[in-house]
Chain A
Amino acid sequence: MEYLIHLAILFAIYGILGVSLNLVVGYSGLLSVAHAAFYGIGAYASAILLTQSGIGFFSSVLFGAITAMITSFLIGAVLSKFRGDYYTLGSFGFNVIIFSIFLNWQGLTRGPLGISGISKPELFGINFSSNLSFLILALLFLVIIYFASRFIVNSSFGRVLKAIREDEKAIQVFGYNTQYFKLAIFVISAAMASVAGSLYASYITFVDPSSFTLMESIFILAIIILGGLANLKGPILGALFLILLPEVLRFIGLPADIAAQMRQVIYGLILIMLMLYRPQGLLGEYKL
């Protein structure tokens, strides 16, 4: 049971990451692979504040989100000048740069050693230290972010994003400043990813740079491409599937290190197969 709760918490965290990345990749058509960077910013913000100051978990979530927004504003300002595969390459670059900062700014992040002993959230005397209560909290965040993104995509703002995805030139003719829209959705999505990072840091109680590599960004991308781009439920389905997959592999009885690699093989094959036979993913409404 404890183990199922653990999986459910991971599902909630990756669900948040998927839902937020889908806003950028699915609805706006910007193939970003820098999501793990913002996820990491949230995780480090909470880790540092919770271990070194008296600030509580929820304030650290807010602080992480603000840091992620400022960073993503700067990064997005550069990225929104690019289109198509150059956008992807640029985001690649920023993920590596942010990762280098996690790894090398030792005074703040303790580098490869990581930060341990991060405390569990507490609110109005309720302590979320048991896994079940943490799960409820994580699911609550997932629900809030799910409905926030549903609100965004159904608003007029969301319709402009979809129009940019379909034909950026055409919507510019109507007088929309598309760079502003691309930047705004990038910042919103980064803030959401940082919330997932805060949850992760507080749940695992330990962060180190290896959780926020480019491979992690590719994994989040695989979640949303599998689940379906530009569909709200797609990332939820994708996260569920890709979180449960390794457990199936363990169930067949592969040794742990081979199972970990086998997982990567399957992620890779899933991406190839989807691109070949179903580029919009399982539930998707938009093809890359």
Chain B
Amino acid sequence: MQIISQLIINSIIAGAIYSLVALGFNFIYGATKFFNLAHGVMAAIGGYIVFYFGITLGLDIYLSVAIGVLLAGLIGYGSDKLVYLPLRKRKASNMVLLVASLGVFTALQAIIAILFTSQFQVLYRNIASQRIFNIFGGSITQTQSVILISAIAVFAILVLLLKYTVFGKAVRAISDDEEVAKIVGINTDKIIGRVFFIGSATAGLAGILVGFDTGIEPTMGLPLLLKGVITAIVGGIGNIYGGVLGAFLLGFLENFGIWKISGEWKDAIAFALLILFLLFKPQGIIKR
């Protein structure tokens, strides 16, 4: 019984992290319709900025987190302005955008490694001071409960933003049809720039939270991104509700999967789920 409740908690935490990554990924995909593979590296950027300000410079940890989220967002915004926007202007195909994002990912990840070395780092200054809560025999750390709350908060904010603001309406119009949105006078370049900012900032937040939970390394972005992509596709690509559903489905499947098979197969389980969905239900759980 104890194992079961621990597994459920682990699944929910994993689901929360994946949904944070997938929310931003889906948000960007919805507006631009291409797989932004550089999305994961924004998580690593967020984590390392908190490491730099919070640990190296010793700034207040909440302030560092705010700077981390903001800068991750700005770098995402910059990647759109410098790379993706010129490509979209030239009507480049999705493949070109995908390869370009692969380039952004490779370059940024290596720059992080040059600045901070490839070593594994922890964000927590004093790991022993973490409080641990018990729920039905399973334990959950303070950081993990923050992860869960953040995921719910980000989800709620994005939904409200999309539903009730002018900006949200513009984003929905662009994801329906960018050309038509342009014709009715929406400044699509500006809106998509903001979408990149928000999406990358949530990825940054995800990276920071993972950093507090387990730790950071320059290559942390790729596994997070891949889980985010799988989650997004399984849930229904471009649909932020589906992304959250997919995230928890993947979280549960992985954690209950490794209960029976060894833990190293986690990634293979995740991709097997992706391929099954691509084959039999390519539109995902919730169709756009």
Contact = CB atoms under 8 A, between A and B. Distances in A.
Contacts of B267: 96-97, 100
Contacts of A221: 99, 102
Which bracket fits the contact residues of A? Answer: 35 or more
Contact of B271 (A86, A96, A215, A288): A96
Contact of B222 (A100, A214, A262): A214
Contacts of B222: 214
B35 A276 contact: no
Interface in A241-279: 257-258, 261-265, 267-272, 275-276, 279
Contact of B99 (A81, A90, A262, A275): A275
Nearest to A92: B226
A45 to B, nearest CB: 20
B57 to A, nearest CB: 23
Interface string A190-225: 000000000000000000000000110010010001
B103 A269 contact: yes
Contacts of B87: 275-276
Contact of B264 (A104, A268, A271, A279): A104
Chief secondary structure at chain B's binding surface: helix
B229 interface: yes
Contact of A268 (B86, B94, B107, B282): B107
B106 A268 contact: yes
A20 B109 CA distance: 28
A275 B110 contact: no
A252 to B, nearest CB: 15
A97 B98 contact: no
Contacts of B114: 258, 261-262, 265
A88 B98 contact: yes
Nearest to B108: A268
Looking at B87, B230, B233, B271, the one whose CB has the most chain A CB atoms below 10 A away is B271
Interface of B: 34-35, 83, 86-87, 92-100, 102-111, 113-114, 117-118, 222, 226, 229-230, 233, 262, 264-265, 267-268, 271-272, 274-275, 278-279, 282
